[in-house]
Structure 1
Amino acid sequence: MTSIVLAADGLLGDRLEEILATDHMVERLTEGADLLKVAQCRDDAVFITVLVQPLGDFLELLTAFRCRRPEGEIVVVSDGLVPAQVSLAVFRHGATDVVEQPVDQPERLLQAISKGILRQRQATESAQLVQQLVDRNYLLSRIHELLDELHRAPSLDALLSGVMPALREISGATAVAITVDGPEAVTAGWPLPHDAPADRTIPLHLEEQAVGTVHLQGAQMFAGYAISSEDLFIALTRQLALVIHHHHR
């Protein structure tokens, strides 16, 4: 159910609450100041307020709401007809819809709310897509930097020491360790005590040959980023296997 914040007094407020409560969760307010306070912490709600006089004060309230919630949905209702000039001013100051005589035309009010919910959902999805692109581009850039560092590492120890912080950042793990296979096995990173095994291990393969293993403790792949794909991390471990093989053969 969608959350509705209803700023309306008296009988009109009571009737609007009855109409809305059938399909929505309604939070009733009575003061304009309360509306502004709630606007700062209720990103998921559609706001409804009643057109009141003097008009100048009401328009200031709308402007203040819009400053606090640039993408918020606020529907203005009136128990009478709204002159075209007043309706235009209300839209210019931030209202997303104006509904006349909502008690007599409840379907018009519910339609306005449905449109507001749809706009909010689309805005959220759009913001998520943008954030995914930003995060993916950042991680790609970070991985390319890391690959350059790997190929320039003068020794295996330098390679493992240099790669550890970036692996921790990209994987979202609280701790990272790498074991390198071979006649003289090498371990770098946090110790691997028997009572605290790795949450996740990712083998490092070069074609069919096992080169080593990445151990992740407390890993949440790409934690803190909007993307959840592990493709970038897996691609990085393949390059890591190649460079380790070069240094340790």
Structure 2
Amino acid sequence: MIKENTKVGITFLLLGLGLGIAALFLVIFTELAEEVMENEMRRFDGTIIGYFKAIDTPFLDSAMIFITEMGSVWFLTTLSTLTVVVLWVKYKDKWGILFFLVAVGIGGLLTKMLKGLYERGRPSINPEIDAVGYSFPSGHSMGSLIFYGFIMYLVIRGNGNALFKWVSIFLMAILVTLIGMSRVYLGAHFPSDVLAGFIAGAIWLILCLIALEWIQWQSKSSVRPVYAIRDMLVSILRAVKKRFPANK
């Protein structure tokens, strides 16, 4: 019983931590959106855009166009299809597939909703690099963080060795960062758009992963959450009473 209560306690500690981080990111996103709408991010955006203009070269132009495609809708859709096939054929992971599709699919809808809500214009319009429509938040940044972030989660849960996991996570984190940078370099987004895209993507990804972990815990564990919480609270109360007996 003590061992089971310890597992439950750790599970709910991680659950609370994840929800707390998501809530913190939500507050940050709200504050950032407010400052953007009040045009208070102009100096921040202008400084970073000016830096990218200063290092503009033909080679970087080609490199950034290539990198930005790795966060495009068609590219992530292709990789998403491959991911679903692998999860089904190799792992038979129905819950992983479901929440992966929820994370990526609904994440795309959330991006469109947020763009329509804030209606911020782009620095420049260029259909060749998917720079059309509204700018805030960056769809490439939000979509790539959700997709590659979910892949990082799958890698962590996989059976690969530690070195493979760390290298994979590091490379994907660098790729997501470069995708965001490419949007600013190519003039498709303001830096604050990219930052907002990362934050919004992180919020949705965290919520999806928490829900997935919860479902998997319920389906695999013999300990059911309601009864486990009750037993854990009873054990805590008993320990407190034993430690601090009531005065007679």
> Which has the larger share of strand?
1
Structure 1 or 2: larger helix share? 2
TM-score, length-normalised on structure 1? 0.26
Q: Bigger radius of gyration, 1 or 2?
A: 1
